[in-house]
Amino acid sequence: MLDQMFFDPHSVQRMANILIAYSTTDGHTREICLRIKAVIEAPHQVTLCPLVECTANDLQAFDTIVIGASIRYGKHHPQVIAFVNQNSQLLDRKSNAFFSVNVVARKPKKNTPETNPYLQKFLRQIAWRPKHLAVFAGKLNYPSYRFFDRMMIRFIMWMTKGPTDTKNIYEFTDWKQVEDFGRHVSRM
**pLDDT at residue 129, rounded to an integer:** 92
> The dihedral of CA 113, 111, 25, 95: what is its sign?
negative
Mean pLDDT, the chain, rounded, equals 88
**pLDDT at residue 1, rounded to an integer:** 37
C-alpha angle with apex 136: 132 to 170, nearest 5 degrees? 170
> What are the structural domains of the chain?
17-138+173-187 (3.40.50.360), 140-172 (no CATH)
Q: What is the mean pLDDT of residues 73-85?
A: 90
- Which candidate, 164, 176, 90, places its Cα nearest to that of 136? 176
Label residue 74 by pLDDT band (50, 70, 90): confident
Q: How far is CA 115 from CA 23, 59, 164, in A?
A: 22, 30, 24
* Interval 126-143: pLDDT, tens: 989 999 999 999 999 999
* Interval 96-136: pLDDT, tens: 999 999 999 999 999 999 999 999 999 999 989 999 999 99
**pLDDT at residue 43, rounded to an integer:** 78
Taking a C-beta distance cutoff of 8 angstroms, is the pair 45, 149 a contact?
no
Rg of the chain, C-alpha, whole Å:
18
Q: What is the mean pLDDT of residues 163-168?
A: 94
**pLDDT at residue 14, rounded to an integer:** 67
Label residue 9 by pLDDT band (50, 70, 90): very low
> What residues form DSSP beta bridges with 170?
140
**pLDDT at residue 41, rounded to an integer:** 80
- Is the pLDDT higher at 148 or at 57? 148
CB atoms within 10 A of CB 176: 8
**pLDDT at residue 21, rounded to an integer:** 94
Taking a C-beta distance cutoff of 8 angstroms, is the pair 59, 90 a contact?
yes
Label residue 60 by pLDDT band (50, 70, 90): confident
For 56-103, the DSSP string reads HHHHHT-SEEEEEEEEETTEE-HHHHHHHHHTHHHHHTSEEEEEEEEG
